[in-house]
A and B are shown apart, each in its own frame.
Chain A
Amino acid sequence: MSAAPQFEPKIVAYVCNWCTYLGADLAGTARLEYPPNVRIIRLPCTGRIDFNLIIKALEVGADGVLVSGCHPGDCHYTAGNYHARRRWILFRELLDTLGIDLRRIEFAWISAAEGRKWQQVVTEFTEQTRKLGPYKELYATGAFPDVPAPETASPGAKSFAAESELREVCHKLLSEGTVKVVIGYGARGPVVVTRPEDADRLVWNNRCFSNLTAYLKRKEIKALGKAAVIVKPCDEKSLVELEKEAQFERKDAHVIGMACEGVGQPKCAHCTARTPRFVDVTLGVAAGPEPQSSPSPNRLAALMAMPPVERMAFWSDEFNRCVKCYACRQVCPMCYCERCIVDKNRPMSIDPAPSTKGNFAWHIARAFHLAGRCVGCGECSRACPAGIDLALLNISLHIAAQKNFGYEAGMDPKAEPVIGSYTLHDTEAFIR
């Protein structure tokens, strides 16, 4: 009679070339024994560990992922590990929202001298993973409780009082030659107006959903000359971030801010700005004083109240409807890359097919590339033809950036962006 073979976990370890790799080497030369379950992948620096690699390891069958590099202050490249730490803090929040079991991913600082710590971390993590068993819940479907759907905008257009003033202002801007083009709202959706007499096509009503700042990046619009763009106070936040990222200069556009009466979208329920702050001209009257805080939506609370397996089942169900039309990317003012990672095929890091794996990979990449940058305009959710509540992922990262780094995208033009900066004191309770 033979016993059933014991489950042997597969562990992928992404380690930094200068510290942990040498630590593991030292463990070897010092004859320190540790479980052979770990497959080491050496990278130049923890700052170079793309978050996609962590997901990829789980996808190809790892039961656990270990990420390890130099102790704070010890980075061979001065600050790679500080940048990595920030990214992990936020990335863990995203993984948690998606329902990926955080016990499967371990972070550690192990120096070249710490052969014994390597032995200890690998041994303990292997044991912990062995107890958890094979990781079968990645992208698994299943039952989950109802998550409230975002509120929808009420049908029918209701014009706001500032509409006629807006037309006059735009007519003047175009006829005096201050701008060559006005990016505004028309009866069916966004319009680009170049002739003064067409300023009458502009509308300002409760159907003005789009975040028009997304058009400023388009070369065919830039080619028309200096633009005036109409922004709601929530859309204006993207200009703050775009300016920080050197994608936009105030002098290149005339910004017309609309004091907002609300367009009734889910985003209005969490409004933090009703009056434009940095615009060239403000029109209209705001619906009320500036809201002091934005409560997180009840649908996020409902999601986070579920155990991880159910959260994963929720997202599997949502993402299975994704057709990869990339409307979420195209409407986003912060998605301005000339060539998106998903369109790159040498190497191809994201499965281009709208399969379970390909859809998860895409939505993880999209959400995380917007970490700390998303201004919460909610356009991604509105644009999705499959009704996927994509903004939930961005909101969870937004809250994480606020909680951990006191950063709120689009609010303070002077605040340093979350990703790309660091402090010596970023929280790291989860790093061994």
Chain B
Amino acid sequence: MSEIISQSALRALAAEWIAGGKSVAGPARVKPDLVLYRVLRSGDDLLLEGFQRPSNSIKDFLFPKAEKLYGYKIRGNSIELIENDSPEPAQVIIAARPCDAAALPILDHVFNWDFHDEFYNRRRAATTVVTLACSAHDENCFCTSVGLDPGSDRGSDAILFALGNGQYEVRCATEKGHALFDGKTEKSERTGKAITGPEKRFDAQAVRAFVTTHFEDPFWNEHALTCIGCGTCAFSCPACHCFDIVDAGSAAGNARVKTWDSCQFSTFTAHASGHNPRPAQPARQRQRILHKFAIYPEKFGEILCTGCGNCTRNCPVGLGVLSVATEINHG
């Protein structure tokens, strides 16, 4: 026996959540060739098929690109701090890709390791993730190379499997998932299945072995010299989590804001003295691979990459984890 829901019922359910005051985010078409995870205005905005995956990731809703930590006002010699402790509204992320949802446990480690990040955790507690198992993969997908698969429910509260004819099987993995779908589904005999994953594109262990032993190596100059040093890879990655803290506003005070940062920026490691320990792009590309395949795994036991392929898909010059890791494997 399985639980199923029709596409129209799913849209109606999303509309119901919105009407009930929840913030509902999911894939939506922004331009003819651009699909992004966005806050949906209606159930009809939700895009369920006809694209590989959104160009951004669901981290936007848990670790937003700009988060106000607190406000402040400066008057003469006194500073008044204004706490930002308003509770986050409940949110549902619907039709997330498994490679997005799987990044949440990765982020959980980082934001709860030596410091409990109240902003992330507050949002995380208020969020329910409903994943849609993949029904296609493209030449940039590589989840199977980092230990995931297109039907993985890691990080999901519920997962949907397309059955065809606008029907989806619903499997709830957590209490939060049940709270959304109990009583909203129908019984059926049909069960769904995700596609088999993309063929394994590289060996993650070999990549780890290479990066930990080839810190100074001509490889980096040969294969990463064309990196232009933008933050596209990090910002469209579901698992990249580096941030900066900036003062936004006038000198008289406004807000202290947490913003995304990227190890590909030249300012990321720039010292006040002017020295930069990672002087050029090859060293910065090495850092990104090193962090994902060696540093994070050493600390938390898993790879800091879910194989979504966004970094390669979005890179203006065709780099990204997939390109570099395959070069390491074949080079």
Known contacts A189-B226, A326-B231, A387-B31; is-contact A352 B246 (Cβ 8 Å):
yes
Chain B 235-259, CB-CB to A under 8 Å as 1, else 0, gives 1100000001011111000000101
Q: How many residues of A contact B (CB 8 A)?
A: 41
Known contacts A214-B228, A330-B230, A387-B31; is-contact A325 B235 (Cβ 8 Å):
yes
Q: How far is the CB of A131 from chain B (nearest CB, A)?
A: 29
Select one of A152, A325, A331, A386 contacting B36, CB under 8 A.
A386
Q: How far is the CB of A129 from chain B (nearest CB, A)?
A: 22
A219: Cβ under 8 A from any B Cβ: yes
Q: Identify the B interface with A (CB < 8 A).
A: 30-34, 36, 55-56, 65-66, 221-222, 225-226, 228-232, 234-236, 244, 246-250, 257, 259-260, 262, 265, 267, 279-282, 314-319, 323
A152 contacts B33, CB within 8 Å?
yes
B280 contacts A352, CB within 8 Å?
no
B267 contacts A220, CB within 8 Å?
no
A383 contacts B230, CB within 8 Å?
yes
CB-nearest residue of chain A to B247: A348
Residues in chain B near residue A383, CB distance under 8 A: 230, 232, 316
Known contacts A152-B32, A221-B225, A327-B230, then 12 further A-B pairs from the complex at CB < 8 Å, ordered by chain A residue: A149-B33, A189-B226, A220-B221, A220-B279, A220-B280, A325-B230, A325-B262, A327-B231, A331-B316, A331-B317, A358-B248, A385-B314
- Identify the interface centre among B55, B282, B318: most chain A CB within 10 Å of its CB: B318
Residues in chain B near residue A220, CB distance under 8 A: 221, 225, 279-282
Q: How far is the CB of B153 from chain A (nearest CB, A)?
A: 27
- Identify the interface centre among B235, B249, B317, B323: most chain A CB within 10 Å of its CB: B317
Q: How far is the CB of B290 from chain A (nearest CB, A)?
A: 18
* A:95-129 near B, CB below 8 Å: none
A-B complex: 7 closest residue pairs judged by Cβ atoms = A189-B318, A188-B318, A325-B231, A383-B316, A327-B230, A387-B34, A220-B280
CB-nearest residue of chain A to B64: A354
Residues in chain A near residue B225, CB distance under 8 A: 192, 220-221
Select one of B232, B259, B318 contacting A354, CB under 8 A.
B259
Q: Identify the A interface with B (CB < 8 A).
A: 60, 149, 152, 186, 188-192, 194, 210, 214-215, 218-221, 321, 323-327, 329-331, 343, 348, 351-355, 357-358, 379, 382-383, 385-387
CB-nearest residue of chain A to B221: A220
Give the distance in Å from the alpha carbon of A351 to the alpha carbon of B255 in the complex.
11
A188 contacts B323, CB within 8 Å?
yes
Give the distance in Å from the alpha carbon of A194 to the alpha carbon of B218 in the complex.
12
Q: How far is the CB of B142 from chain A (nearest CB, A)?
A: 14
Q: How many pairs, one residue from A and one from B, have CB atoms within 8 Å of each other in the complex? A: 116
Select one of B229, B257, B260 contacting A323, CB under 8 A.
B260
- Identify the interface centre among B244, B248, B265, B323: most chain A CB within 10 Å of its CB: B248
Select one of A190, A324, A351, A387 contacting B249, CB under 8 A.
A351
Give the distance in Å from the alpha carbon of A357 to the alpha carbon of B68 in the complex.
14
Give the distance in Å from the alpha carbon of A353 to the alpha carbon of B244 in the complex.
9
Residues in chain A near residue B249, CB distance under 8 A: 351
A60 contacts B250, CB within 8 Å?
yes
Residues in chain A near residue B318, CB distance under 8 A: 186, 188-190
Give the distance in Å from the alpha carbon of A189 to the alpha carbon of B279 in the complex.
23
A385 contacts B56, CB within 8 Å?
yes
Residues in chain B near residue A186, CB distance under 8 A: 318
Q: How far is the CB of B242 from chain A (nearest CB, A)?
A: 13
Q: How far is the CB of A416 from chain B (nearest CB, A)?
A: 30
Q: Can you name 28 A-B residue pairings with CB atoms under 8 Å? A: A152-B32, A189-B317, A191-B226, A210-B317, A215-B226, A218-B281, A220-B221, A220-B225, A220-B279, A221-B225, A323-B65, A324-B231, A325-B232, A325-B234, A327-B232, A329-B230, A330-B229, A331-B230, A351-B249, A352-B259, A353-B259, A354-B65, A355-B248, A379-B316, A382-B316, A386-B36, A386-B55, A387-B33
Q: How far is the CB of B67 from chain A (nearest CB, A)?
A: 9
Give the distance in Å from the alpha carbon of A383 to the alpha carbon of B229 in the complex.
12
B229 contacts A343, CB within 8 Å?
no
B316 contacts A219, CB within 8 Å?
no
Q: How far is the CB of A158 from chain B (nearest CB, A)?
A: 17
Residues in chain A near residue B265, CB distance under 8 A: 326
Residues in chain B near residue A324, CB distance under 8 A: 65, 231, 259-260
CB-nearest residue of chain A to B60: A323
Residues in chain A near residue B280, CB distance under 8 A: 218-220
B248 contacts A352, CB within 8 Å?
yes
A353 contacts B316, CB within 8 Å?
no
Give the distance in Å from the alpha carbon of A323 to the alpha carbon of B248 in the complex.
15
